[in-house]
Amino acid sequence: MDNGFQFLDIILLAAVAGFIFLRLRSVLGRRMGHEQSRREDNSRRVNEGHKGNFEEKPSEDNVILLGDKARPDEQTPFAASPLQQTLNDIHRIDRSFDPATFVQGAQAAYEAIVVAFANGDRETLKMLLSEKVFENFDASIQDREDRNEKMSTDIVSIHSAEITDAMLEGREAEVTVKFDAEMITMTKDEEGVVIAGDPQPHMVHELWTFARNLKSRNPNWLLITTRRAE
């Protein structure tokens, strides 16, 4: 009977892991052992050639919100903003780039990275972080392990995720997303005593910047910087 439950647990864990990887791949462009053929890609571009739309909403802060729609060639103040122009330029180089889809992927990556950091899951972090950011995260995890401390993070809700900045230099693109999230974070010592954090939910406001070479065969957008939002 125990073996039967263990086997069922393995199946469930494999299914959950597969769902997370497929989710991240679908929205951030991660390659999971296979790619679409050039023929499929070209066909998609022909069939969707009329697309080039970026989801947006007029805003004094020039922030693109998930779920709003407007054509980039519409004669609106926001469509002509530097942010929108940069996103259009990124799309012209990488026709698969779409701000709304990118934000969805950034949200999935945000959750995966925050939880992986708390759990000390270095393998997941390596896939989603730049080398420099991974080194910083790894050092923090190692310090925590050396002190026999345990960290836990529970994301209650991501209230909003929106593009606030973008930069394109040659083929190197960077897109910054502002996250407003509610989470519970605690760190316990080896005796199980809470030494940092709080069991009550708290709001976190952060700016995360993702980067990618748009002509690279690697479709991954990697996290290159994180900072508090003012």
Picking from 135, 153, 133, the residue whose alpha carbon sits closest to that of residue 221 is: 133
We report the CATH number of the domain holding residue 101 as 3.10.450.240
Q: Is residue 185 part of a domain?
A: yes
Q: Which domain holds residue 123?
A: 54-228
Per cent of the chain over pLDDT 90 is: 63
Task: Identify whether 13 is part of a domain.
Answer: no
Number of domains the chain is built from: 1
3-state secondary structure of 201: coil
* pLDDT tens digit sequence for 91-130: 999 999 999 999 999 999 999 999 999 999 999 999 999 9
What pLDDT is recorded for position 144?
97
Residue 91 lies in a domain: yes
Asked whether residue 27 is domain-assigned, the answer is: no
Q: From 92, 76, 74, 72, select the one nearest 84 (Cα to Cα).
A: 72
Per-residue pLDDT of 170-199, as tens digits, reads 999 999 999 999 999 999 999 999 999 999
In the chain, which ranges are E strands? 64-65, 150-169, 172-188, 194-197, 202-213, 222-228
CB-CB contact of 55 with 69 (8 Å): yes
Residue 195 lies in a domain: yes
